[in-house]
Structure 1
Amino acid sequence: MTTTQPTSTKQDILQHLLKKGQATAHQLADRFEISPQATRRHLKDLETEGLIEYRSVQNGMGRPQHIYYLSRQGRSQFPNNYDEFALSFLDTLAQTVGEKQVKEVLRKQWERKAEDYTKQVGNGLLLERVTRLVELRRSEGYMAELLPIEDNQCEKYILAEHNCAISGVAESYPSVCGHELEMFSVVLPDCTIERTHWMNHGEHRCGYLIKAK
């Protein structure tokens, strides 16, 4: 089947579903200020192209409501530049030197990444540093955003990543996600970092709670 290039509105819908995880046709129509009929045509096209799926939810006595979300193919439309080569390389490396050595290579890689991030994030106020970290992650295809949390006791943020640029690697080698958590802790040594969401557990984003010590 030949997949047509999504229109701007279709791409907007895909990005919204990537970010929010799911939405109804009515919610999408309101979000993009287009008619419900036009929204359903876009959704039908995206479903035909295999980019989205839906599940039906019964609300009361009325017709079932369709909840739309990205398919695996839909997620693949977003940056994951490292996946194909990196996964093939790691599989070959595992066959050659063994799983233990591969885990060591991955650990070394994230140590280098943490060093690079630390240099680029620099010093300054926590908000300045986490904002710079989000910019770095976004430039690498993670579709990251910073969500402030109101707390009178200390400074808190959620670093949310709505797309994983290395999702294929993370599925096959989940230890990279643990190294990622360690990496953020190195880059922000005056903070505690906790994972709040994880795509590998079926959630629609990865999330990290950043809390000033």
Structure 2
Amino acid sequence: MKKDQTSKIGAQTPMVESDASTRARVARSILQHGPSTASELAERLHLTPAAVRRHLSVLIGVGHLSSRQQRVYGARGRGRPAMVFELTDAGRTEFPHAYDALAIDALDFVRNALGADGVQRFAEEFVAGIETRFHEIRGEYDNPADALVKALNDAGYVASAHPVATGKQLCQHHCPVALVAAEFPELCEAETRVFAQLLDSHVQRLATIAHGDGVCTTHVPRPVKPSDHPNRKAAS
């Protein structure tokens, strides 16, 4: 690589980092002060209105902000009302939450008050939503595994199914409750039982995100035909 090309790349990297940092400041300012105009943000953050609008455009593009016309009370001056920018639900999720800690504390309370059976009952109720969704859409799919993948994706698990030599592997590339499941494996166990029930198969969990694996992987063995069953062959 030529020297002038290296210097250009090195000069661009801090710019990208600076843009991301500034966008984070813009979003945090809206979080702290509520819906804001570009001029208000520019004044608070000591930026030019043009720079603020550039960052606002990016944040709107990724779905972290929405915009609307500013409400004007009383007599309105000339020109169109200014645009007001506010955080969307997706934008709010970029900030730290205490949901996982709250869920763990709540399940600790359930275990202390009701024992292990209470946690298991909660886990069964939690995964019941996947089961309900599966039955709602089952008729749209020829294969129950495909319906289960859709139900899991609707619940935020980013799931897929892949054929392997002995059947299928059901993969969940994201687990919305991984931190809680690490403390309460009953959630994973209840999920596995529901998979077995919905797929009418003796499934086997091979890996879970809650235990530090990169993907939750469940093996779904290929159905055994009656003619191939070992007991049937032995009898013949």
1:194 to 186, 192, 204: 204
In structure 2, the gaps of 5 or more residues are: 1-8, 22-92, 224-236
Q: What's the CA shift for 1:199? A: 1.8
Percent of residue pairs bearing the same amino acid type:
19
Q: Residue 107 of structure 2 aligns to which amino acid in structure 1?
A: L
Distance 1:83 1:138, change over 3 A: farther
1:120 maps to what in 2?
136
Aligned to 2:156, what secondary structure does the other structure show?
coil
Distance 1:111 1:92, change over 3 A: same
Q: Does 1:157 align with 2:168?
A: yes
CA contact (8 A) 1:181 1:193 kept: yes
Q: Normalized per residue, which structure has more helix? A: 2
Match runs of 1:89-128 below 5 Å: 89-95=106-112, 97-109=113-125, 112-113=128-129, 115-122=131-138, 125-126=142-143
Q: Residue 149 of structure 2 aligns to which amino acid in structure 1?
A: V
Q: Does 1:169 align with 2:184?
A: no
Q: Residue 168 of structure 1 aligns to which amino acid in structure 2?
A: L
- Residue-by-residue CA offset, 1:6-59 (whole Å, 9 max, x unaligned): xxxxxxxxxxxxxxxxxxxxxxxxxxxxxxx59x949x95xx98xxxxxxxxxx
1:145 maps to what in 2?
160
TM-score by length of 1: 0.52
**Which structure is larger by alpha-carbon Rg, 1 or 2?**
2
Count how many residue pairs are aligned between Structure 1 and Structure 2.
139
- Residue-by-residue CA offset, 1:193-213 (whole Å, 9 max, x unaligned): 111222233211111112232
Q: Residue 136 of structure 2 aligns to which amino acid in structure 1?
A: Q
CA distance in 2, matches of 1:81, 1:166: 13
- Residue-by-residue CA offset, 1:61-96 (whole Å, 9 max, x unaligned): xxxxxxxxxxxxxxx96xx9974553342223234x
Distance 1:114 1:81, change over 3 A: farther
2:216 maps to what in 1?
206
User: Higher relative contact order by CA 8 Å / sep ≥ 6: 1 or 2?
Assistant: 1
Q: Residue 164 of structure 1 aligns to which amino acid in structure 2?
A: C
